Structure 1
Amino acid sequence: MKVVAFLTAAFVTLAAPDTSFAEMLSQAQKYTGLHEVKHNKKLRAALGINPARTPWCGHFMGLIARTVGRKPPESYGIARSWLRFGAPVRLAYAKPGDVIVVRAGRSYHVGILAALSKSRAQVIGGNQSGRVQLSYFSRGQVVAVRR
């Protein structure tokens, strides 16, 4: 009986579409345009930190993940910690809504994939030029895709 219940639960989980990542993209888009200085009070209340003084891409992702019922990584404020979020996905199979970790020089950045072309990933995230916005990153900068 336990085996049947387990198999039924597994089937339902696999057959049901995973909408949490589409929801993450949708939630992130609601914050588009908010700037770390101009909208400091609103962002500070949502993120729990002062975005004008703290790197906040990971904090933004933590907010979005929690909003859709996902558990962010333990040190979610650090972009590199998102390398351990969810399950890994090959870049060739990335979908809008997947979490993308990119490397720019010696630092990391995390955001949500909005679109992927042959040469670039369009990512929405926080702390992109001081605001929540869409930015482009070379596919070569992508170090991880997580779902």
Structure 2
Amino acid sequence: MKVLAFLAAAYVALLTPDFANAGMLAQAQQYKGLHEVKNNKTLRAALGINPARTPWCGHFMGMVARKAGRSPPQSFGIARSWLRFGAPVKLSYARPGDVVVVRTGRGYHVGILSMLSKSTAQLIGGNQSGGVRVSQFARGQVVAIRR
């Protein structure tokens, strides 16, 4: 039974990336509102790390990808590693559910595209002001979009 479930997840992830990405967005939204301190026990159990002490946007994305039947990058806990996830997508073709890596000062952040406007990308992700929430990033901060 587990083999059949694995093969079905692989089929969805490889042959229908739009459906798989929509699954990632839906998974992420289930955690919306959780905070790294107030909901530490819940997030700790889901992520396998203490989010109050560890940068966790990549860990959150890894959990979401696995729950949606996708394979996260090997070093999924590092936001920059998501530059190698899935297939690249041009900004003009980005859709809700795509994985977006943004530049934040000297570092990177990763989240799932919720909405794209002429000037901003709204991402849902972990470690955004200490919680799982939707945050806005300037389109100029977008480094990569992956599907």
TM over 0.5: yes
Question: Structure 2: which amino acid aligns with 1:63?
Answer: M
RMSD between superposed Cα atoms in Å = 1.2
Q: 1:2-81 residue pairs with structure 2 within 5 A?
A: 18-81=18-81
2: distance between equivalents of 1:57 and 1:96? 18
Unaligned runs of 5+ in 2: 1-13
User: Which residue in the other structure is 2:9 paired with?
Assistant: none
Question: Structure 2: which amino acid aligns with 1:85?
Answer: F
Deviations 1:98-136 (A, max 9, x none): 000000111100000000000000000000000000000
Offset, 1:18: 3.1
Offset, 1:70: 0.4
Q: 1:108-127 residue pairs with structure 2 within 5 A?
A: 108-127=108-127
Structure 1 residues 29 and 19, CA gap change in structure 2 (3 angstroms): same
Identity of aligned residues (%): 75
Offset, 1:42: 0.3
User: Which residue in the other structure is 1:93 paired with?
Assistant: 93
User: Which residue in the other structure is 2:131 paired with?
Assistant: 131
Flag the structure with larger Rg. 1
User: Which residue in the other structure is 1:6 paired with?
Assistant: none
Deviating 4+ runs (over 2 angstroms): none
Deviations 1:53-85 (A, max 9, x none): 000000000000000110000000000000000
Question: Structure 2: which amino acid aligns with 1:20?
Answer: A
Deviations 1:29-68 (A, max 9, x none): 0000000000000000000000000000000000000001
1: distance between equivalents of 2:137 and 2:112? 12
- The aligned length equals 134
Question: Structure 2: which amino acid aligns with 1:104?
Answer: T
Question: Structure 2: which amino acid aligns with 1:106?
Answer: R
1: distance between equivalents of 2:104 and 2:77? 17
Q: Helix, strand or coil for the counterpart of 1:18?
A: helix
Question: Structure 2: which amino acid aligns with 1:91?
Answer: L
Q: Helix, strand or coil for the counterpart of 1:19?
A: helix
